[in-house]
Amino acid sequence: MNIGGVYKIINKVNNKYYVGSTSNFKKRWNQHIKLLNRNKHKNDYLQNVWNKYGEKSFEFIVVEYTDVNLVKIIEQKYLDIAEKEQDKSYNLNFNSLGGCLSEYSKEKIKQNKIKYWQDFEKRKSLGVKLKNKIALNPEYRKTMSDRTKLFFKDSKNRKRLSETMKTFHSLPETKRRWSELNSGLKNPLSDKTVYRFFNKKTGNREFCTRYELRTNPKYFSENLSQSGVAQLCLGKFPSYKGWIIDTLQS
């Protein structure tokens, strides 16, 4: 029988602990030490106290040996205890298979998302990468579509996304960016320019503002988006859903 088991990393100063499981105790303890001493441990709660008290203030103990095939089951027993006494535990996840996060972890994830969405350059870079990947890989496009549909089927996911976006849109930086993006000719209602639109696929021609094109009942089935038509009129898209700009009329 291959032996593994459950261990604890105990802070000897205040007796708080971290629960984990492994099939190789020595290797796992060395991994923790290596990451903690490099300030790269994924559990920043444990990392912070390690930085505060130092390596000598912690000890690694085996709390139960078991068959390696049973370690997750045994670990869950100790995680259930840790969840009930979170004031004594450094664990941020209380499910041995993952998925059950502490309030600390949930708040950390929320703040990281807000920080990410505040960084316009990161969002822009990710958007370009995703567009290229989706355009070049039909299988990836289908996978992403299926994941998105599955995500929005869950009402909890929709609620969390809604709360995150509300927070994002309330940020001063976001409001400033929206103001810039919708100023002058970028605003569909303030752009009174009449464009000569031509659709290469259908042969349709229209002489109108971009707002009038997008809201024309004849083209509702094409699902013309505000941003798509705007990018076409601003010259950032050579064509959009078959539509091109022939000439510009004042």
What confidence tens digit (pLDDT) does each residue in 191-222 have?
788 999 999 999 999 999 988 999 999 999 99
Q: Is the pLDDT of residue 244 over 50?
A: yes
Smallest CA-to-CA distance from 59 within 114, 112, 9 is with 9
Q: Is 32 exposed, middle or buried (0-12, 13-18, 19+ CB in 10 A)?
A: buried
Per-residue confidence at 2, pLDDT binned at 50, 70, 90? confident
Give the mean pLDDT of 178-188. Answer: 61
Average pLDDT estimate for 73-79: 94
| pTM given for the model | 0.47
> How sure is the predictor about 111, in pLDDT bands with cuts at 50, 70 and 90?
confident
Residues of the chain with CATH 3.40.1440.10: 3-97
Tell me the pLDDT tens digit for each residue of 34-50.
Answer: 999 999 998 988 999 99
* pLDDT reading at 153 higher than 90: no
Distances (CA, A) of 126 to 47, 222, 245: 29, 27, 29
Q: What percent of the chain has pLDDT over 90?
A: 45
pLDDT of residue 124: 79
Q: What per-residue confidence (pLDDT) applies to 100?
A: 59
pLDDT for residue 184: 55
Judged against a pLDDT cut of 60, whether residue 190 lies above it is answered with yes
For the cut 80, the answer to whether the pLDDT of residue 113 exceeds it is: no
Predicted pLDDT at 189: 62
pLDDT value of residue 137: 83
Determine the residue type at 149. Answer: K
| SS3 sequence of 184-205 | HHHCCCCCCCEEEEEECCCCCE
In the predicted structure, residue 249 carries a pLDDT above the cut 50 = no
Tell me the pLDDT of the chain averaged across its residues.
Answer: 85
Q: Which of 12, 19, 156 is CA-nearest to residue 83?
A: 19
3-state secondary structure of 24: coil
pLDDT value at residue 89: 93
What's the token pair of residue 154?
């869950």
Fold of the domain spanning 3-97? GIY-YIG endonuclease (3.40.1440)
Neighbours of 89 (CB within 10 A): 22
